[in-house]
């Protein structure tokens, strides 16, 4: 069973703090990793993609990938109340052009 696991939360952080969201995946051959943000009642919105080990930064967001340990994380610096949403981890499971597998998502609440 190919799986993507996330802690469902809720994860509560104070405004201005760093929020750390984690995701593990089961297939060691996975190559593409994505983070989506989903506000309540809305569609998932792509915020980060990462393909290589290490860190990738985009504004206040940093994605971290460790293929040896099979985890990918998302850090949100200077968290704002507007960051409160569910964050979905999605992984491309090989081989080939196979559809993304999503985790259940982690609900983040940033407290003002």
Partner 1 sequence: EAGVTQFPSHSVIEKGQTVTLRCDPISGHDNLYWYRRVMGKEIKFLLHFVKESKQDESGMPNNRFLAERTGGTYSTLKVQPAELEDSGVYFCASSPGLDYGYTFGSGTRLTVV
Provide the binding-site residues for partner 1, judged by CB under 8 A.
4, 31-32, 34, 36, 42-46, 49, 51, 88, 90, 92, 96-105
Residue 67 carries which DSSP code?
Answer: T
71 versus 102: smaller Cβ distance to partner 1: 102
- Report d(CA 10, CA 19) in Å as an integer: 12
Q: Which residue, 17 or 102, has its beta carbon nearer to partner 1?
A: 102
> Residue 68 CB, nearest distance to partner 1 (Å)?
21
Q: How far is residue 95's CA from residue 107's CA, in Å, rounded to a whole number?
A: 30
């Amino acid at each position: 069973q190919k799986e993507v696991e996330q802690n469902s939360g809720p994860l509560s952080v104070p405004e201005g703090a760093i929020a750390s969201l984690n995701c593990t995946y089961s297939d060691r051959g996975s190559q593409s990793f994505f983070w989506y943000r989903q506000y309540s009642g809305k569609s998932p919105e792509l915020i980060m993609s990462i393909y290589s080990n290490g860190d990738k930064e985009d504004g206040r967001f940093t994605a971290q990938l460790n293929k040896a340990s099979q985890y990918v994380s998302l850090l949100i610096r200077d968290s704002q109340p507007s960051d409160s949403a569910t964050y979905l981890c999605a992984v491309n499971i090989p081989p080939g052009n196979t559809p993304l597998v999503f985790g259940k998502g982690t609900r983040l609440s940033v407290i003002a």
